[in-house]
Amino acid sequence: MTLTAVRPAQSAGYYLDRVARTLEAAPLPLSGEIHAGVDLGTSTVVLTVTDGDGLPAFVATEPCEALRDGVVVDFGGAVEAVTRLVETAAAGTGHRIGAAAVGYPPGIGPSESRACRFVLERAGLDCTALVDEVSAANAVLCIGDGVLVDVGAGSTGVGIFRGGELVGVADVAGGGHHLNLILAGALGTSVEEAERRKRTDGADHLPILRPGLERIAVSIDRLSTGHGSLPVHLAGGGLMLPGAAEVVSQYLAREVVEYPHALYITPLGLAWSSQ
Ligand SMILES: Nc1ncnc2c1ncn2[C@@H]1O[C@H](COP(=O)(O)OP(=O)(O)OP(=O)(O)O)[C@@H](O)[C@H]1O
Ligand SMILES: [Mg+2]
């Protein structure tokens, strides 16, 4: 499919910082056109709203284990999460969100990807675009030649870009949730506690998490076979740990590019894809 999305005038980091700032400050009053995107994930559902110029105006997240291995496994839960997010966005922006673009994980079939659209429609939204997640992410990152890797909670998705065109996609299990399992086992805590500690003192736990990070690096290497000379760009929250990108770069002996607030790259690209 041809993806029509807002073309960024500033760097990816500029827009990602603005997304993060919408979490800290009260949303500014919005006038004119708005665009929304919904990212259904393994651990969270994210709704992002931009103004007509593509500037991030609002973002909200609901915990929801809607997807597993790229498939919608909790349809009702996903619908409820999207419905709550739409209500929160209406209260925050003063706008009714009537339509949005939705993403689907790379490498899944047409019927599975349609399930993502049905979630939106059941939540009362028109689906303006059904976009694979790596294309949405690249609307923000604008990679010409490179490997875009979206490491989420449950999966590692890869898109290969050559001359700005998406020439290959693939997806395997493995992400932030698996790092939590490793940390919980090593520290003797619950998975929830491991998630909390990973976020608060991630750097301290890097030695424990190194084998898990190297496992993700192996997946990236396998999923980008034949494209080993291309730099790797990291989207998604799974590798937001301080030092993680360096571990992956050392293991692969490849250039790895990381971005601030990487977990909002795909959600922002989805809002930009909703024209
Ligand atoms: N500050 C942080 N430090 C370390 N890990 C983080 C941080 N913030 C989020 N994460 C991790 O990011 C993951 C969630 O990322 P993301 O929102 O991209 O996943 P998802 O879209 O729900 O999952 P998937 O793409 O696999 O379906 C979780 O595993 C979480 O632990
Ligand atoms: Mg995701």
Same domain, 124 and 154: no
Outline where DSSP puts E strands in 17-70: 34-40, 44-51, 56-63, 67-68
Same domain, 119 and 157: no
At residue 28 the predicted structure's pLDDT band, cuts being 50, 70 and 90, is low
For ligand 1, the distance from its centroid to the CA atom of residue 150, given in whole angstroms, is 10
**Whole-number Å distance between alpha carbons of 269 and 148:** 13
Q: Which ligand is nearest to the CA of 66?
A: 1
Q: Which ligand is nearest to the CA of 68?
A: 1
**Residue bearing tokens 């499919």:** 1
Q: Are 245 and 239 in contact (CB under 8 A)?
A: yes
State yes or no: pLDDT of 15 exceeds 90: yes
DSSP at 94? S
**Whole-number Å distance between alpha carbons of 171 and 151:** 10
Going by C-beta distance under 8 Å and a sequence separation of 6 or more, which residues neighbour residue 213? 179, 239, 241, 244, 247, 248, 251
For ligand 1, the distance from its centroid to the CA atom of residue 178, given in whole angstroms, is 11
pLDDT tens for each residue of 149-178: 999 999 999 999 999 999 999 999 999 999
**Whole-number Å distance between alpha carbons of 149 and 50:** 24
At residue 1 the predicted structure's pLDDT band, cuts being 50, 70 and 90, is very low
pLDDT tens for each residue of 34-61: 999 999 999 999 999 999 889 999 999 9
Q: What is the CATH number of the domain that holds 105?
A: 3.30.420.40
**Whole-number Å distance between alpha carbons of 57 and 50:** 5
Same domain, 174 and 127: no
In which domain, by residue range, is 46 found?
12-138+265-272
Domain assignment present for 7: no
Most distant CA pair in the chain, distance: 52
Protein residues with CB under 6 Å of any ligand 1 atom: 41-44, 67, 152-155, 175-177, 195, 198-199, 202, 236-238, 240-241, 263
For ligand 2, the distance from its centroid to the CA atom of residue 238, given in whole angstroms, is 9
Same domain, 96 and 172: no
Q: How many domains does the chain have?
A: 2
Two structure tokens written together for 157:
């998705």
